[in-house]
Amino acid sequence: MFGLAARTLLLSRRLFISRAMSSVPQAKKQKLDQTKIIGTHNGTFHCDEALAVFLLRQTAAYRDSGEEIPQDPAVLETCDIVVDVGAVYDESKQLFDHHQRGFTEVFGHGFETKLSSAGLVFKHFGKEVIANKTQLPADDPKVTTLWLKMYKQFIEAIDAIDNGIAQYPSDIKPKYKSSTDLGSRVASLNPVWNQPTGPEVLDAQFAKASQLTGEEFVGKLSYYANSWLPARDLLVQAVKSSKQIDPTGKIIVFDQFLPWKEHLFDFEAESATAEEDKAIYVVPFPCPSDSFDSRKALPEAWRGLRDDTLSAASGIEGCVFVHASGFIGGNKTKEGAMKLATAALAM
């Protein structure tokens, strides 16, 4: 059933229960007998299987899964699910390995990075995990939105690193090294060469690694569910309501602060907005920009001017400034900012 692996095979590491405990009441013994088992490999652990095990424990099927430490690789065949070992990917049999020759599975939806065990588990169980953690209905479109966002911003990098996929072309030499990414922190939990490396030590360290990846995952999901997603909803509302002010759709008006730029680009891509129909100016500009790029810089005649000088040059009262590059400008009132944007579009 399973191919040979370079590492000794065994079930996932932490031993929470012992079916041989004679002191356990019969009712509890029956429950233990029904406990599902997650299988993975021993030895050096990595970020992908640590996260895969955590994710499985957030599902209804594997939330109370038990774990044992057999020495016989054949025991894997008794597992309810196996991740990152076995040289087989078959969702119908709950086998999720990615090391075998010919494995080319990707997440889809425009993503082309080969999956690791984390990506495989997230692909099949991620929506359930997200629905459980956010308390959204499983069929809520927001679950799919968060599922795709979490893959892009969190899971894909783990897949790529585990599969040895470089982030940049090999002919570009990094100016510095970083060892603070999640994969590096998980790797640092493995015992070093001059420390004890017995099963008990590895089991305890793997538990820490799985908890670490889980905390990072939940923290990132919390941000996207509770901050990023509400901002996206406000952006979509602003795009629609702004057409009552500017029917061309070239000017978007916000009534409050929100991080709009990423959401605007995503919205335009998803709605297949034609280039000539894309927004040009945002009023008011509610947050600092991380870029000097703009679709249409403010007029040359206004750039670098401030206050009364700018008001005189533009013919609009209450002006504050226009940046020397023209990528941003300001007025004391929302109405004044609208006049700046409208006048700039016409120039």
Q: Are residues 214 and 265 in the same domain?
A: no
Within 13 Å, how many C-alpha atoms sit on residue 287's CB side?
A: 12
Q: Are residues 143 and 285 in the same domain?
A: no
Question: What is the pLDDT averaged over residues 298-313?
Answer: 95
Categorize the per-residue pLDDT at 286 as very low, low, confident or very high, splitting at 50, 70 and 90.
low
What is the domain extent for residue 313? 245-346
Q: Are residues 124 and 221 in the same domain?
A: yes
Q: Are residues 35 and 93 in the same domain?
A: yes
pLDDT digits (tens, 9 = 90+) for 23-63: 334 443 344 456 899 998 888 999 999 999 999 999 999 99
DSSP string, 5-69: -SS-EEE-S-----TT-TTS-HHHHHHHHT--BEEEE-SS--HHHHHHHHHHTTSTTTTT-B---
Residue 20 has pLDDT above 60, yes or no: no
Asked if the structure places residue 260 within a domain, the reply is: yes
Asked if the structure places residue 307 within a domain, the reply is: yes
Per the DSSP assignment, residues forming a β-bridge with 62 are none
Q: Are residues 71 and 203 in the same domain?
A: yes
Residue 245 has pLDDT above 90, yes or no: no
Angle at alpha carbon of residue 14, lines to 8 and 16, rounded to 5°: 135
Residue 347 has pLDDT above 60, yes or no: yes
Q: Are residues 202 and 260 in the same domain?
A: no
Residue 167 has pLDDT above 50, yes or no: yes
Q: Are residues 256 and 292 in the same domain?
A: yes
Asked if the structure places residue 327 within a domain, the reply is: yes
Categorize the per-residue pLDDT at 180 as very low, low, confident or very high, splitting at 50, 70 and 90.
very high
Q: Are residues 46 and 187 in the same domain?
A: yes
Asked if the structure places residue 117 within a domain, the reply is: yes
Q: Across all residues in the chain, what is the average pLDDT? A: 86
Asked if the structure places residue 208 within a domain, the reply is: yes
Q: Are residues 184 and 274 in the same domain?
A: no
Which tokens go with 261? Answer: 């730029």
Number of domains present in the structure of the chain? 2
> What is the model's pTM?
0.79
Instruction: Give the pLDDT score at 188.
Output: 97
Integer Cα distance of 273 and 17 in angstroms: 56
Instruction: Give the pLDDT score at 295.
Output: 86
Q: Are residues 41 and 117 in the same domain?
A: yes
Instruction: Give the pLDDT score at 35.
Output: 82
Instruction: Give the pLDDT score at 321.
Output: 93
Asked if the structure places residue 232 within a domain, the reply is: no
Instruction: Give the pLDDT score at 291.
Output: 58
Share of the chain above pLDDT 90, in %: 58
Identify the residue with better confidence: 6 or 164.
Answer: 164
Integer Cα distance of 113 and 104 in angstroms: 9
Q: Are residues 199 and 285 in the same domain?
A: no
Q: How many CB atoms lie within 10 A of CB 192?
A: 7
Q: Are residues 72 and 204 in the same domain?
A: yes
Dump strand ranges (E) for 55-203.
Answer: 81-83, 89-90, 95-96, 106-108, 111-114
Asked if the structure places residue 174 within a domain, the reply is: no
Question: What is the pLDDT averaged over residues 259-268?
Answer: 88
Asked if the structure places residue 239 within a domain, the reply is: no
